[in-house]
Amino acid sequence: MRLFKLEKKQNQLEIINNTPKKVLLRRVALSYEVTTFGYEMERVPKLITEEVSLEKEVEPEKSIRIPLKLDTLKRVSIVYRAEDSDITLREDIDL
d(CA 75, CA 82): 22
Report the candidate in 79, 84, 29 with the shortest Cα–Cα distance to residue 60.
84
- Pair 78, 93: CB distance under 8 Å: yes
What pLDDT score was predicted for residue 38?
87
Q: Global pTM?
A: 0.89
For the chain, give the mean pLDDT: 95
Long-range contacts of 40-44 (CB under 8 A, 24+ apart): none
Per residue in 29-53, pLDDT tens? 999 999 999 888 899 999 999 999 9
Domains along the chain with CATH numbers: 4-94 (2.60.40.3970)
Per residue in 57-87, pLDDT tens? 999 999 999 999 999 999 999 999 988 889 9
Percentage of residues of the chain with pLDDT beyond 90:
85
